Chain A
Amino acid sequence: MNTNSANTDCANVNTNNVIVTRGLKKTYHDNGIPVEAVRGIDFTLTKGEFTAIIGPSGSGKTTFLNLMAGLDSPTDGEVELSGKLISSMSGKELSNYRRDHIGFIFQAYNLFPVLTVEENIEYIMLLQGIHKKERHERVMKILQQVEMEDYAHRLPSKLSGGQQQRVAVARAMVSRPKLIIADEPTANLDSRTSGDLLDMMKKLNEETCMTFLFSTHDEIVMKRARKVVTIRDGLLYNTDKSREE
């Protein structure tokens, strides 16, 4: 797999900022006790990046991703996606923002169990109001890309964990979002399946220049990420530039 050349092309084509956070803070109240999960993070992600956020459990990785995804609202600070502030959006605007600009890959079981692979993948396009014919074409194309074209009519329960995550990747990418957020996507997979999945995602990243952001403590993810940042006690630091290619 010629990752270097693809990545170089992608990096050269576009260096726009996809997402920027400034002084991002989030404080939870756990039984009345304030818990500062994110304590003022400034972060920028440019188009085509394949970045991993690492950190121990409870370090604030998921909270940080949720804030960027618009799943949570910050206590302070702001999140800007392609020049648009999402931290001040209303509930409906946020919902539309997530639908149109963010692709999600969760830890596990994030496929709708009653929908087939094809129906799962086309779900977001259905929300976007994309025409049936185009939906079908896009589904078939992405299924080929994730090498799952023979499983289009299967229910998630008939797939292995790795296959389910491949479908989840396809679903996250098919609507062509600006950013794909993956919260510990390999947490429930064995190392070989994790490696295969990451290779596939990296290949798609290189082919499409779509931006990927992972949270993980998986070495396999870290090894394949082109950029790794560390989050600890709600603060982002120790950006490892050495992995950037």
Chain B
Amino acid sequence: MFARLILISWRNVMKNRRRTIITGVAIGVGLAAMMFSDALFAGMSTLMIESTTDTWMGDAQIHREGFRETARISLTIQQPLKIDSMLAADTLAVASTGRLISPASLQSAMEMKPVTLMGVNNRTESQISMLETATSTGSYLSGDSMEIIIGYKLAEDMDLVMGDIAVITAAMADSGFSSRMFRISGICKFGSDQYDRYTAFVNIQSAGSLLGLTGELHEIAIRFQNPMIAMDPDLPFQTVFSVHGNKAEVWPVLAPQITSMIKMTSVSLGIQAAILFGLVLFGIVNSLFMSVYERMYEFGVMKAVGTSKRAITSMVLLEAFWLGVAGSLIGALIGFGVNHYFAGVGISFGEVDFSGVMFDKPIYTTVDWSRLWIYPVATLIFTTLAGIYPGIHAGNLNPSEAIRKSL
């Protein structure tokens, strides 16, 4: 009997092709919108994470405990060589670089500005941050002790150009102040004020001698095989490298605002999904009720000849299922098509500076089959469930009334 119900429901759905197509397209468009939103969200998350970790931070960092909270330059990493060898042996970490960080002032012939002095290793820094690619004028650090790279806004503010002399003054680790003269060797553009207006980059040896911290490090930035690894709450990295008074932290901890934003977007997506599925649900219920009311006589006859409530309810559920199949197929085709298109060309939202991170690249939709299959399947289930109410209504029809009302 069930096989016959499948056949009847299929033919019923195909009998009114126009309505089936319209309903299927309505379901499909809703589904495609969900798949697109999901893929866009995934692409946006990837962009946010990559922009955050690629700009400067890296996927993880190691500091001396208390350094991030106080920025005291005396709090350098304990046993940096040992940490370095541990990182070399770690399978997750593919690159790392050491930095010295200190508040300082940059003085030109005309004026003085507060900056954050960054002493970087010119060879390893390019594996972690954008400094090399962001150096748009002049050249990247070669290791020369006189070299300094400043942001283009800082250069404009202080009227500094390539080759100009500038003096950095900073507090030394063991008290006192130290000054050192540099020559502008490069001007960089990160797209964020934090780096373009308030930071100066020098070679780590120069920073070490200026601060009295030669051979010391304030920060080790690390690149993982994949930034997503850091989202694993059970990642042993933080425990393994938080030794000797040092503290290892991954980017979700270092940039909690990004994690919060991803969570917030995820919640918004959930709400959007609920609204869309709700609309689809009511659309299906409406369509099925129209179909039930049109076929009152037929249902009356079916009941009169002894068809059970359950069989009639099942038949309407099966009709809903077929609509779901049509809608899911249409939606999946549109969804995958649109997602693949935008995965190639991307969607540009212009330049957005968020918490010192520049989001200036297009967002490319991420077509992740392992996640996206959920939407057509969920649509199919929701659509079928939408048949419950009209199905029960049809199953409960009084045969004599159904026949009488239809005549």
Q: How far is the CB of B400 from chain A (nearest CB, A)?
A: 4
Contacting pair A126 B1 (CB below 8 A): yes
Q: Do A114 and B8 contact each other (CB < 8 Å), given the known contacts A95-B308, A107-B407?
A: yes
Pick out which of these stretches binds chain A: B236-244, B294-302, B376-384. B294-302
**A112 to B303 Cα, complex, angstroms:** 12
Contacting pair A95 B303 (CB below 8 A): yes
Contacting pair B1 A127 (CB below 8 A): yes
Contacting pair A98 B304 (CB below 8 A): yes
Contacting pair A106 B15 (CB below 8 A): no
Q: How far is the CB of B293 from chain A (nearest CB, A)?
A: 16
**A98 to B301 Cα, complex, angstroms:** 11
Q: Which B residues between 306 and 345 are near A, CB-CB below 8 angstroms?
A: 306-309, 311
Q: Which A residues between 84 and 104 are near B, CB-CB below 8 angstroms?
A: 91-92, 95-96, 98-100, 104
Instruction: Check A75 for interface membership: any CB of B closer than 8 A.
Output: no
Bitwise, A65-77 to B at CB < 8 A (1) or not (0) is 0100101100000
Instruction: Check B305 for interface membership: any CB of A closer than 8 A.
Output: yes
Instruction: Check A109 for interface membership: any CB of B closer than 8 A.
Output: yes
Q: How far is the CB of A55 from chain B (nearest CB, A)?
A: 17
Contacting pair B404 A62 (CB below 8 A): yes
Q: How far is the CB of B10 from chain A (nearest CB, A)?
A: 9
Q: How far is the CB of B295 from chain A (nearest CB, A)?
A: 9
Give the residue of A72, A114, A115, A124 whose beta carbon is less than 8 angstroms from that of B305.
A124
**A95 to B302 Cα, complex, angstroms:** 10
Contacting pair A99 B306 (CB below 8 A): yes
Contacting pair B8 A69 (CB below 8 A): no
**A112 to B4 Cα, complex, angstroms:** 12
Chain A contributes a number of interface residues (CB within 8 A of B) equal to 27
**A99 to B297 Cα, complex, angstroms:** 17
How many pairs of A and B residues are in contact by the CB < 8 Å rule?
A: 61
Name the A residues within 8 Å of B306 (CB-CB): 95-96, 98-100, 124, 127
**A99 to B15 Cα, complex, angstroms:** 27
**A113 to B305 Cα, complex, angstroms:** 15
Q: Do A71 and B305 contact each other (CB < 8 Å), given the known contacts A62-B404, A126-B4?
A: no
Instruction: Check B11 for interface membership: any CB of A closer than 8 A.
Output: yes
Instruction: Check B80 for interface membership: any CB of A closer than 8 A.
Output: no
Instruction: Check B399 for interface membership: any CB of A closer than 8 A.
Output: yes
Contacting pair A106 B4 (CB below 8 A): no
Give the residue of B11, B12, B301, B309 whose beta carbon is less than 8 angstroms from that of A106.
B301
Q: Do A71 and B399 contact each other (CB < 8 Å), given the known contacts A107-B407, A115-B8?
A: yes
**A219 to B272 Cα, complex, angstroms:** 66
Q: How far is the CB of A112 from chain B (nearest CB, A)?
A: 6
**A62 to B407 Cα, complex, angstroms:** 12
Instruction: Check A191 for interface membership: any CB of B closer than 8 A.
Output: no
Instruction: Check B112 for interface membership: any CB of A closer than 8 A.
Output: no
Which 7 interchain pairs have the tightest Cβ spacing? A99-B306, A114-B11, A71-B400, A66-B400, A72-B400, A98-B306, A71-B399
Given contacts A95-B308, A113-B298, 4 further A-B contacts (CB under 8 A): A71-B304, A98-B306, A106-B403, A115-B8
A-B contact pairs, 14 of them (CB 8 A): A69-B304, A71-B399, A71-B400, A92-B308, A95-B303, A98-B304, A99-B305, A104-B305, A112-B302, A113-B15, A127-B305, A127-B306, A127-B307, A127-B311
The residues of B with any CB-CB pair to A shorter than 8 Å are: 1, 4, 8, 11-12, 15, 297-298, 301-309, 311, 398-400, 403-404, 407
The residues of A with any CB-CB pair to B shorter than 8 Å are: 62, 66, 69, 71-72, 91-92, 95-96, 98-100, 104, 106-107, 109-110, 112-115, 119, 123-124, 126-127, 129
